Amino acid sequence: METKGEFTAGTTLIDLHGVSGRSVNAKFGLKLDTEGFWQLMIEALKKY
């Protein structure tokens, strides 16, 4: 999340091609196990 306003204040920036030369400092999901996600969500809501 850009918070200093240097590039795009309030926007999440992702450098997928390594243009910035900075080291990776986050993980980004490109795929989702939809069925597994909803199973986890339903189980969590049952406990609430």
**Buried-state track 12-37, b at ≥16 Cβ within 10 A, e below 16:** eeeeeeeeeeeeeeeeeeeeeeeeee
Range 7-18 average pLDDT: 78
Q: Report whether pLDDT(15) > 90.
A: no
Instruction: Write down the pLDDT at residue 1.
Output: 59
Q: What is the pTM of this model?
A: 0.42
Q: Are 8 and 17 contacting, i.e. CB atoms less than 8 angstroms apart?
A: no
Instruction: Write down the pLDDT at residue 2.
Output: 61
For residue 6, give the amino acid letter. E
Question: What is the DSSP secondary structure assignment for residue 12, as one 8-state letter?
Answer: -
Reported confidence tier of residue 37, pLDDT bands at 50, 70, 90: very high
Q: How far is CA 36 from CA 14, 27, 40, 42, in A?
A: 26, 19, 6, 10
Domain range list for the chain: 1-48
